[in-house]
Amino acid sequence: MTRTPQITFPMVAVNFKTYTESAGEAAVRLARAAENVSLKTGVCIAVAPQLLDLSKVIASVKIPVLAQHIDPYDPGPYTGRSSIEAVKQAGVAGSLVNHSEYMLELSKIDLIIKRMRRIGLVSVVCTNTAQVSAAVAALEPDIIAIEPPELIGTGIPVSKVKPEIVADTVALIQRINRNIPVLCGAGITRGEDAAAATKLGTRGVLVSSGVVKTKDPSKALLDLAEGVTRH
């Protein structure tokens, strides 16, 4: 059985969403670009393609691959859903949970985290405020990614324009569980944005359009990877 690549820190996580630039064969090309930058810099770069592209991306690279969403259902009569077991068998390292574009109730987040932990998948739970982050931290996810939704996709980095959100979130999470790494997302596009985030106590960044929709994803990834190692 092929060994699933492990997530390490510092980390750059790239959410492919459903952009044309990251679908189908473009997803494979983007994942390979991420792998090349990861090998060059030693920084863990994890990618999260669409569900239909998971298998082909996993077969093409040796970096961690995440699902964009995971359903809290046992295998059974759930048409249109994907069981955690099926996603695990595809070879993913873990999944995003509760992204601002696919928000869940806290009770479902709790169920997903527990089921993912039981079968050995890494949970990357997205949160939108320090208070929500604190509530999620009590559920003991593997990683929390703070992303104020009003800045997602804007190119305006939360690490620079609202650093207090990041700093307060890190402090609250550490008060509850010091072992939960925090990522920072929303408007992060450049290495200096990533560097600002790590100086605030995060262990990396979660990005999307700043990589996916740029003319040179490799250059953008290299800049971000170098940014998260800057202290």
Positions annotated as catalytic residues are 99, 147
DSSP the chain: -PPPPPP-SSEEEEE-TT-GGGSTHHHHHHHHHHHHHHHHH--EEEEE--GGGHHHHHHH-SS-BEES------SSS-TT---HHHHHHHT-SEEEES-TTS---HHHHHHHHHHHHHHT-EEEEEESSHHHHHHHHTT--SEEEE--GGGTTSS--HHHHSHHHHHHHHHHHHHH-TT--EEEESS--SHHHHHHHHHTT-SEEEESHHHHTSS-HHHHHHHHHHHHT--
Question: Residue 224 has which token pair?
Answer: 């971000």
Strand 122-127 and strand 204-207: the pairing is: unpaired
Q: Report the residue count for the chain.
A: 231
